Amino acid sequence: MIKEKIIFGIHSVQEALDAGQELDKIYLRRGIASEEIRAIKNAARKARVPVMEVPTERLNRFTRGAHQGCVAVVAQVSYTRLEMLIPHLYEEGIEPLVVVLDGITDTRNFGAIARSAECAGAHALVIPERGSVSVTADAVKASAGALMRIPVCRVPSIPGAVGYLKDSGLSVVVANEKAHQNYYETELTGPIALVLGNEHEGVSVQVARLASHEVAIPLRGDIGSLNVSVAGGILLFEIVRQQELRDKNEYRY
């Protein structure tokens, strides 16, 4: 595991927030309360930085120094606001291709998906603030550096973000191994939000309800599912294939 850069101490973390430092997470000692801590929580909320309360032992793993019950992990990338990115792409005449990760928790899968997304020319990855992977040094390594090249949008709610994308004119394509329609039977041109869920539970019910299309990858073997990063790569490059054929006036759906 690659060691993360951290900031510790109440005043140091507050100064980092005030300076606009990109932070991945803030860890507070469980039960800690003061005016300074309330100020950190308020600033973190405005900056969309997740705050987690943890036992003191967890904080001690980060540093042997006087952390004062407050440790921040510095983000590996500068996060992009989704609500600013999508209008900008449209203004530039670009059809957005966005990959939304719903409950992906494995760092290696995240890195592999990011690598495929960057290679496919996707314009952003969308991840939730909580309950999912984040852009750590290990994730950047697993992505072969792709996470340094593709915008990452961290959002408070995946259903909310998917609803925003749909309202913004993107077709919401949900990967679902139980879907009745195969991916190659689906028109995948135009602005698209491709939603990938974790391998155990898939995409959440709230997100699935927003789908324009639910698509499956047909399997011929005995194993019932693909690794999510493999499935994501297959779907991304089917989107690329269809869009390139459309641009050459050769695609007939």
DSSP of 146-187: GGGTS-EEEES-HHHHHHHHHHTT-EEEEE-TT-SEEGGGS-
187: tokens are: 């028109």
Distance separating alpha carbons of residues 24 and 76, to the nearest angstrom:
8
Distance separating alpha carbons of residues 32 and 163, to the nearest angstrom:
36
- pTM exceeds 0.95: no
Residues 29 and 97 in one domain: no
Identity of residue 128:
P
Residue among 224, 22, 46, 244 nearest 134 (CA) = 22
- The highest-confidence range among 6-10, 81-85, 216-220, 247-251, by mean pLDDT, is 81-85
Query: What's the total number of domains in the chain?
Result: 2
More confident residue, 124 or 225: 124
Residues 210 and 128 in one domain: yes
Domain of 32, CATH number, reads 3.30.1330.30
Q: What is the pLDDT of residue 87?
A: 98
Residues 246 and 127 in one domain: yes
Question: Does 171 reside within a domain?
Answer: yes
Residues 40 and 164 in one domain: no
Question: Does 33 reside within a domain?
Answer: yes
Q: What is the pLDDT of residue 238?
A: 97
pLDDT in tens, 124-134: 999 999 888 88
Residue 46 lies in domain: 6-74
What is the enclosing helix (H) or strand (E) of 24?
strand 23-29
Residues 194 and 83 in one domain: yes
Residues 70 and 149 in one domain: no
pLDDT at residue 251 greater than cutoff 60: no
Residues 52 and 127 in one domain: no
Q: Which of 59, 74, 89 is the last residue of a domain?
A: 74
Q: Which of 31, 47, 74 is the last residue of a domain?
A: 74
Residues 49 and 128 in one domain: no
Q: Which of 55, 74, 93 is the last residue of a domain?
A: 74
Question: Does 186 reside within a domain?
Answer: yes
Residues 124 and 231 in one domain: yes
* Residue whose tokens read 């995946």: 158
Domain of 133, CATH number, reads 3.40.1280.10
From residue 95, alpha-carbon distances to 98, 159, 169, 189, 192 in Å are 10, 21, 10, 9, 8
Question: Does 1 reside within a domain?
Answer: no
Residues 144 and 208 in one domain: yes
* Residue whose tokens read 């600033």: 43
pLDDT at residue 2 greater than cutoff 70: no
In the predicted model, what is the mean pLDDT of residues 43-59? Answer: 92
pLDDT in tens, 64-119: 778 999 999 998 888 999 999 999 999 999 999 999 999 999 999 999 999 999 99
Model confidence band, residue 250 (pLDDT cutoffs 50, 70, 90): low
Contacts of 134 (CB under 8 A, 6+ apart): 24, 25, 75, 127, 154
* Residue whose tokens read 């929580």: 41
pLDDT at residue 1 greater than cutoff 70: no
Residues 147 and 191 in one domain: yes
pLDDT in tens, 137-175: 889 999 999 999 999 999 999 999 999 999 999 999 999
Residues 109 and 211 in one domain: yes
Question: Does 106 reside within a domain?
Answer: yes
Classify 104 as helix, strand or coil: coil
Per DSSP bridges, beta strands 124-128 and 97-102 are: parallel
